[in-house]
Amino acid sequence: MLLRKTDRRIGLSEAVAKALHDPRDPDRIIHSLRDLVAQRLYALCYGYEDLNDHTALRHDPLMQTAVGTRAELGSCPTLHRSTA
């Protein structure tokens, strides 16, 4: 939770999400770009370097809480598409 608090205070994931172009169809978006950026950022900070790790992390209650959602997080393909 310290990581989430620090991120919210400095606004890193929000700033990165605003700086990126999001080509996804707004009517089909389930996960906000900020949530996907936060999910990836937090996973990297926790030592999960590979996108494949998100297959398990997307169901992790602690990761969901850190990102700020109760819903299932983005999968590996979702994260890959959003950063391509």
Cα–Cα distance measured from residue 13 to residue 35, given in angstroms and rounded to the nearest whole number? 8
**What are the tens digits of pLDDT across the range 19-70?**
998 888 889 988 899 999 999 999 999 999 998 999 899 999 999 999 998 8
Count of Cβ atoms closer than 10 Å to residue 79 Cβ: 20
31: containing domain: 2-83
Cα–Cα distance measured from residue 43 to residue 63, given in angstroms and rounded to the nearest whole number? 8
Q: Degrees (nearest 5) of the Cα angle 70, 20, 28? A: 50
The yes-or-no verdict on residue 84 having pLDDT over 60 is no
Longest dimension (CA), the chain: 33
Cα–Cα distance measured from residue 5 to residue 72, given in angstroms and rounded to the nearest whole number? 21
Q: Tell me how many domains the chain contains.
A: 1
pTM assigned to the model:
0.86
